[in-house]
Amino acid sequence: MKQDIKPIIFFLTTICTIVSIMVGLGVIFGAIDYKFNSEVFMETTSYNSNLYMNKELADELNTYYADSKREFSACIIISQEKTQVSNDNLNIDYYLTGIEGQVKYSGFDHSTNEMCNYGTIHSHPKGTPYFSIADITAFKSRIKEGETFAVIIHGENEFTYITRNDFEEKKVVITN
Residues forming the site for Zn ion (CB under 5 A) = 132, 135
Would you say 58 or 162 has its CB closer to Zn ion?
162
What is the torsional sign of CA 5, 6, 11, 14? positive
The C-alpha atoms of residue 52 and residue 23 are separated, in whole angstroms, by: 38
Would you say 92 or 153 has its CB closer to Zn ion?
153
Would you say 91 or 108 has its CB closer to Zn ion?
108
Closest CB 131 distance from Zn ion, rounded Å: 6
Closest CB 168 distance from Zn ion, rounded Å: 16
Would you say 26 or 127 has its CB closer to Zn ion?
127
Closest CB 9 distance from Zn ion, rounded Å: 55
Nearest 5°: phi and psi at 52? -125, 150
The C-alpha atoms of residue 53 and residue 78 are separated, in whole angstroms, by: 10
Would you say 2 or 126 has its CB closer to Zn ion?
126
Question: Residue number with the shortest CB distance to Zn ion?
Answer: 135
Closest CB 150 distance from Zn ion, rounded Å: 9
Closest CB 53 distance from Zn ion, rounded Å: 19
Contact indicator for 72, 65 with CB cutoff of 8 Å: yes
DSSP string, 49-97: EEEE--HHHHHHHHHHHHH-SS-EEEEEEEEEEEEEEETTEEEEEEEEE
SS3 131: coil
